Structure 1
């Protein structure tokens, strides 16, 4: 009798196991994302839900941190022997991550269709030393946004094509009493300021490094910082710009308190169609201006990628998730806050509808993206430059002396 009961129990257990395979086969991935700019948290969750519905044996835990915490969270998790399977990383980090074995080389996983379909410039986001350390995901640069209504009231017919013209138009707006400080920038002592500075360096034809050594102390690098200081001191720039991050710039601009603002793609639809925006329907966008005789437009490479960490115990599932998140189908469905990495997406009415002005600016801006310096010591260099920008803005040092100190403190 006992034997038959045991057999019945064993049989029931086996049947239960066969009928519920996911109860014991579930893989859990931990993914680290950014809680600002580009795709919204809601977008990332919706993309992930679509993945887990198609792959019910994979669960994805999402963690969102501000951009400023993304790098350190990733590196510290590695040191503790685990944590994340998939991480979002900035274009400036592959050199450091490759040198310290933070990300897996996924070159062999990248298909020919991916290589052919993704915009060539997007690959610079994830490639270092001939290897791919992930898939590009956020293709981004900074654009010049402007308030069409304010420009019209000031009698300005077209937005500025040069940085000098931007200052001239801002002065007209200020002198007519339309706005006290017409321009908003993100010049807080953070990476945001380096992105604005890089945009200007590209406009002035400057170089960050030459033969691995700092070259920003003269030429276009010096001209860029001088422009920032002149704009700040002239009174056309919002003085709080020295404390602003990108979200502060967005809030000021969409409250109607700035005629011009430099910011990422995501601001276009948030300011032009957002419920909380006071400037909805009045937002114009053009590529960041150039410098007469040196450049037509200017742009910083602010793109980001998704990579598999070297400590992931589930690299195959992690890559599968990345392929879903970066697929053309997923990106085309969420193209209002971040534009796709896929070349043919820009001819798709589902992507372009309602944001033709942004797409037109993107075609010029994305083609002109200028890289921040590629070096394993990027963090030290960036920190030194952030401090130099603040010192120059606050008149604690001349642009020349501030940049010389940055070069000395860059670790290069």
Structure 2
């Protein structure tokens, strides 16, 4: 993830303190001031204003100071804050970043709060990254995952009356769509999050625990079967074999109108419709199909967790903020406002009114996360998975290339 230096303070009713300050010298005589770092664009100004007003009314002994942070450079900023004596009280972090921060020793272990938060109901793929060696450091806040976005007109013309629920049917339907100048699916060759889902469905993983570290696992029979399915699906479109959805920009491709299906978070449709208003209302959503119809395919669950630094001066008050943001009232509001998936499976009803969010929620029930290693960020920086995928899609031996990529990952994860 990308993170940023400096903080942009949100212009709400309360006066916000300078970045990084969590202690209020007047707190002994009045409400404790709890400072929260929240990432830019995580929620709308209106949502945050509603939450602040409600929280102030129900927690009169706590003054909430929200400071909005830029993504660019935030990793270094959080790392420095966790090592200081002047940390904020609550920090929003990307769910795959929790292991990195927990390894520093500066994040409070919240395992004893899990029962109070009804953690047994958290989405597995969202809760998993916050749990390090059996200890819960990150509290799941919200989830977002890729679904299949499809052109309803294309499906109707191809005679497809129901969206596919199995991989086998998905391949068959995509082949039907791949006619008349349309491409049945736009799937760039390096969409490694999608590959991860297919690997997980086969019982494999990107990397597995090996003693105290991790080792790459792309060369297992299960992972190789996941890559084989990816190859079959990718061949039914015109996606480039040597790049991901950023090059070319997937929105630009989908907005041309000849793409029958592509993988993205539901909000991506709004950008496509802005680029080509003629496509407004043409798209539908369904979870990535699984191997059988009884459940959707596994999918990478991205999103944010909330952590409390060890250096927080107001840890109990900070917990009240975390508990409120992750509770039913504000999870439901967030699902309706931001089209995010709530953090608990029992909150899925909050997404029922929106087709895209409902598809995300259904997929999130079978969500997974990347390996829970502090070194995983370094793997993503060089990302041998992408090179492996391109090699296989261009005709090289899958087993040989998987072994190379796995060895590269093992070196990085063990560094």
TM-score range, shorter chain: 0.7 to 0.9
Seen in structure 2, the aligned counterparts of structure 1 residues 175 and 185 have a Cα distance that, compared at 3 Å, is closer
Looking at structure 2, the residues matched to 344 and 295 of structure 1 have their Cα atoms a distance apart, in angstroms, of 17
Residue 218 of structure 1: CA displacement?
2.8
**Alpha carbons of structure 1 residues 238 and 34: separation in structure 2 relative to 1, 3 Å:** farther
- What CA deviation, in whole Å up to 9, does each residue of 1:381-412 have, x standing for no partner? 4445x233235426496543443222222234
Matching of residue 201 in structure 1 with residue 222 in structure 2: no
Q: 1:310 to 1:47 in 2, by over 3 A?
A: farther
Instruction: Name the CA shift for 1:220/1:126 in 2 (closer, same or farther; >3 Å).
Output: same
Evaluate the alpha carbon distance shift between residue 288 and residue 231 of structure 1 in structure 2; reply closer, same or farther with a 3 A threshold.
closer
Residues 237, 333 of structure 1: alpha-carbon distance in 2 compared, 3 angstrom cutoff = same
Q: Which residue of 2 aligns with 1:7?
A: none
Change in CA separation of 1:228 and 1:342 when aligned onto 2, cut-off 3 Å:
closer
Residue number in structure 1 paired with 2:163: 159
Q: Give 2:18's aligned residue.
A: none
1:50 aligned partner: 53
2:52–2:64 Cα contact (<8 Å) kept: no
SS at 1:195 equivalent: helix
CA distance in 2, matches of 1:263, 1:241: 19
Q: Partners of 1:103 and 1:275 in 2: how far apart?
A: 42
Q: 1:272 to 1:111 in 2, by over 3 A?
A: farther
Q: For residue 62 of structure 1, give the secondary structure of its aligned residue in structure 2.
A: strand
Corresponding residue of 2:354 = 355
Query: What whole-Å deviation, never above 9, does each CA across 1:147-205 have from its counterpart, x for those lacking one?
Result: 1112112333333334454444444333211x2x44344766xxxx4422211212333
Q: What is the aligned length?
A: 375
Residue by residue over 1:350-377, the C-alpha shift from the partner in whole angstroms, topping out at 9 and shown as x without a partner, is: x245325753x45642332233222333
Correspondence 1:145 to 2:149: yes
Tell me if 1:321 matches 2:318: no
Q: Is contact 1:199-1:299 (8 Å) kept?
A: yes
Q: How many angstroms does 1:306 deviate by?
A: 0.9
TM-score (norm 2): 0.73
1:77-116 aligned within 5 A = 77-78=81-82, 84-112=88-116, 114-115=118-119
CA contact (8 A) 2:199 2:223 kept: yes
Contact 2:32/2:314 (<8 A) preserved: no
Between the aligned partners of 1:63 and 1:387, the Cα distance in structure 2 is 30
1:91 Cα offset (Å) = 3.7
Residue in structure 2 matched with residue 3 of structure 1 by the alignment: none
Q: Which has the higher helix share?
A: 1
Which of 54, 69, 74 does residue 63 from structure 1 map onto? 69
Kept after mapping to 2: 8 A contact 1:160/1:169: yes
Alpha-carbon distance in 2 for matches of 1:152, 1:127: 44
Structure 2: tracts of 5 or more residues without a match: 1-25
Note closer, same or farther for the CA distance 1:21–1:226 as it changes in structure 2 (3 Å cut). Answer: closer
4+ aligned runs moved over 6 Å, structure 1: 20-26, 271-276, 292-295
Any stretches of 5+ residues in structure 1 without a counterpart? 1-19
Q: Distance in 1 between matches of 2:307 and 2:38?
A: 10
The normalised TM-score by structure 1 is 0.73
